[in-house]
Structure 1
Amino acid sequence: MNFVFVGGDVSVDFSNTIKIVNGSKTDLLASPSSLYNWTQQLELDIPYESLDVNFQYFKSLRNLIHNCFQDFAYKRKINKEHLNKFNDFIRQFDIHPNILPGLPMFPSLSYESKQIDSPLLHHIVKSFLDVITDEYTLDRLKPCENDECVLLFVDKSKNKARRWCSMTTCGNKIKASRFYYRKR
């Protein structure tokens, strides 16, 4: 699978496992092994068995996150129904915050659940909550300007001028097309 990591945040990259391939929307997380490959490309050391056992939960979480991010990126508002479904998901599995001692003196926040033993799933939940509850980051969540692309990214440029998920993929394609039509 050709995963892309252009989102600037693990939850955005997780959402980007739904992308356009050969003109149609494609789910890149078709199996536990594809989820395992995604984690390997992120250089995360997650046992395959953990991903296999929790695969359907990962797919559900990814779809919930994808819907919320798509809402905000295109409409600048998250559908209340999508947020309620996400809240139902974290309630169903009793995913809750846990404050850990930090280095050197600041505590850090993580999430855990007694029902799902998956640090990756909890990390993705935390990442998603960090994005949607931080006005600065959420305001910079953007869709690629290529109409044939559904990928999202957090624009970390100084002046919020980033337009493409990737300059080499979408940006170059659009610029070359515009150049071609200008020269005709």
Structure 2
Amino acid sequence: MSETNPYMMVGERLCMDFINTVSWRESTDKRRDWFTNYAELADWCVHAGVLTGRQAETLLAGAEETPAEAEAVLKQAIDMRETMYRIFKSVAQETSPHTTDLKRFNESVSRFYRTLQVIHENETGRFALKFGHAEHNLNAMLAPILQSAVELLVSSSDLTRVKQCEGDPCGWLFLDTSRNRSRRWCSMADCGNRAKARRFHQKGK
């Protein structure tokens, strides 16, 4: 990760990028969680376009006033992310998700979707779904991420394009938007190049 681009966003969907906020996810010694505190969660959400800078500042001020609540929201975000990871990994592997994971995912759906509203956008004249979740709630950023996951899960065409990076032990998930569904890596510049170098080294032997 460079300083100018601290986050890799290669999942092609918000929920995929959220799931990928763990580096070397399936490694026992190299694994690193990007969210070790609430401020890091808020910063990623600004980068992902979930929050504006001003919204993040408001939430961070609230987090300073109620650190225990901020810690609880961080745990909620990580729990939701890991549940989503296991569900979408099962999709990539064409297996059935665990019933416990679906139950936990639906608990999140029930928590946030009770605030969902249909609004009319005057600028476009269209109707849209919007969460009525108050912006000052410390977990406000989780609703659109959850909505992204729900929309992907119920999309029969896009769901079949969910894949897991073949670079071991990367573990990242992504939506293969290539025309011939040939994408194999989270990033050709990352895991793809490592695999290429490995093949070249083995060929040299």
Smaller-chain TM-score range? 0.7 to 0.9
CA 1:148–1:159: 2 relative to 1, 3 Å: same
Map of 1:27 onto structure 2: 33
Q: Which amino acid aligns with 2:41?
A: L
Q: Which amino acid aligns with 1:139?
A: T
Map of 1:67 onto structure 2: 86
- The correspondence for 2:168, drawn from 147, 160, 166, is 147
Map of 2:66 onto structure 1: none
- The TM-score with structure 1 as length reference comes to 0.85
- For 1:98-130, what per-residue CA distance to the aligned partner results, in whole angstroms no more than 9, with x for missing partners? 22224634322233447x835421111110101
Map of 2:67 onto structure 1: none
CA 1:26–1:119: 2 relative to 1, 3 Å: same
CA 1:90–1:135: 2 relative to 1, 3 Å: same
Whole-angstrom distance in 2 between the partners of 1:49 and 1:61? 23
Q: CA deviation at 1:39?
A: 2.1
Return 5+ residue gaps in structure 1 as ranges.
none
Map of 1:42 onto structure 2: 48
Whole-angstrom distance in 2 between the partners of 1:140 and 1:150? 16
Map of 1:100 onto structure 2: 119
Q: What count of residue pairs does the alignment treat as equivalent? A: 183
User: Does the Cα contact within 8 Å between 1:72 and 1:78 map onto a contact in 2?
Assistant: yes
User: Does the Cα contact within 8 Å between 2:16 and 2:174 map onto a contact in 1?
Assistant: yes
Map of 1:168 onto structure 2: 189
Q: CA deviation at 1:138?
A: 1.1
Whole-angstrom distance in 1 between the partners of 2:59 and 2:78? 14
- For 1:117-175, what per-residue CA distance to the aligned partner results, in whole angstroms no more than 9, with x for missing partners? 35421111110101111011111110001122111100000010000000000001101
Map of 1:5 onto structure 2: 9
The share of aligned pairs that are identical, in percent, is: 26
